[in-house]
């Protein structure tokens, strides 16, 4: 239930932030008398910390919108973190229920402490380079490769029949032929093409 609520809130917040971001990009394109693509050409932190503050500074009620914008960025970062961490917390709690019974808060504290210590390198003088490295090599190809390997492991090695039986045990019905074809062929093919194209 918690994972469903946090994932839903995360999706809704991301959807709302998309409206805000493209509205500001349109405003900046109108101010500069250029196309939106030219304004959006800046990537990463420069778009967030240079382009948007410039756009907000030119708007009526700029102080209010600046506060709202950066509160939205904090909220977006926090709820994205909650969504990712809740999946890990739920998996660990389900795997070790006897050991962690009544100790959920300590697990959350430990996990957040590890995340905090891991992110300290981004606050140093070379932090921009660390963020750039994570942006270039930490997200795109590596995540797709891991998902491809997971898909192959579950559908080919674990077996589609055993996986369908597990789904039936959890949900009460057996997945149809469409899902089996997607798990065995379509998903690995699309992931392989996507991974190779990066």
Known binding-site residue numbers: 10, 76, 79-80
Token duo for residue 45: 């932190």
| Measured CA angle at 30 (ends 26, 33), to 5 deg | 130
Task: Give the Cα separation of 190 and 58 in Å (integer).
Answer: 44
Binding site as annotated, residues for Na(+): 10, 76, 79-80
């Amino acid at each position: 239930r918690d994972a469903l609520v946090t994932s839903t809130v995360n999706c809704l917040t991301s959807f709302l932030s998309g409206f805000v971001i493209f509205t500001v990009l349109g405003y900046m394109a109108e101010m500069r008398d250029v196309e939106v693509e030219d304004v959006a050409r800046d990537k990463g932190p420069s778009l967030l910390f240079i382009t948007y503050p410039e756009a907000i500074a030119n708007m009526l009620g700029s102080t209010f919108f600046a506060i709202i914008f950066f509160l939205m960025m904090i909220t977006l970062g926090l709820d994205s973190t909650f969504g990712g961490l809740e999946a890990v917390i739920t998996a660990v709690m389900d795997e070790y229920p006897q050991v962690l019974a009544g100790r959920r808060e300590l697990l959350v504290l430990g996990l957040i402490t590890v995340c905090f210590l891991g992110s300290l390198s981004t606050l140093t003088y070379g932090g921009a380079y660390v963020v750039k490295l994570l942006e270039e090599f930490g997200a795109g190809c590596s995540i797709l490769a891991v998902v491809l390997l997971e898909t192959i492991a579950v559908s080919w090695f674990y077996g589609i029949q055993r996986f369908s039986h597990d789904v039936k045990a959890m949900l009460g019905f057996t997945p149809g032929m469409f899902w089996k074809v997607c798990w065995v062929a379509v998903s690995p093919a699309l992931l392989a093409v996507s991974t190779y194209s990066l």
